[in-house]
Amino acid sequence: MAVTLSFSPSTMKQYEWLLTRYPTRRAALLPTLRLAESEFGEIGVPEMRYVADLMEIPPAFVFGVVTFYTHYRRAGTGKYHIQVCSTLSCALRGSEDVVTRITERLGIVPGETTDCGLFSLSKVECLGSCDTAPMLQMNDDYHEDLSIDDVDQLIEQLRESAKGGSN
């Protein structure tokens, strides 16, 4: 039997508040998807359908928005989602070396997830922290002014955390 998704009462309250902040229901889609991501842990087809039904907008529109932006945690993403900024400031300050190092350490290229499901790697557009380039976002945290040693340390820390069962 298919599981029916539903926002918790507290998330539904946040959603209803959001609707008061935007001129149209559809205009509140981006923050509503954030709520769905937080509530359900990821955005896959069932979550997109739920949001579309809730907001009374076509599922294809929701799909288009989710797949346009890289910022949502899509279904199948690893426990640790490493997003390396590849826009100008970061590119000039070595973001490609950061990506190369992560690729060497994890054996995946951008767009892939390790077989163990622990790490996903993405190259993304500007994350708004250009003055601390090169930088990456790991789940909700920024790691800035990165050196290759920092990248190595981060990966080791995440591996240790995974062994210990913490975030």
Residues that bind ligand FES (CB under 6 A): 85, 87-90, 126-130, 133, 135
Name the strand (E) or helix (H) holding 80: strand 80-85
Nearer CB in complex with ligand FES: 84/155: 84
d(CA 51, CA 161): 33
CB of 137 to ligand FES, least distance (A): 9
Nearer CB in complex with ligand FES: 52/148: 148
d(CA 133, CA 93): 6
Nearer CB in complex with ligand FES: 11/89: 89
CB of 22 to ligand FES, least distance (A): 27
CB of 71 to ligand FES, least distance (A): 13
CB of 91 to ligand FES, least distance (A): 7
**How far is the CA of 100 from the CAs of 104, 108, 136, in angstroms?**
6, 10, 13
Could you tell me which of 164, 158, 84 has the C-alpha nearest to residue 118? 158
Token pair recorded at residue 53 = 């039904």
Nearer CB in complex with ligand FES: 91/118: 91
* Contact criterion met (CB below 8 Å) for 43 and 65: no
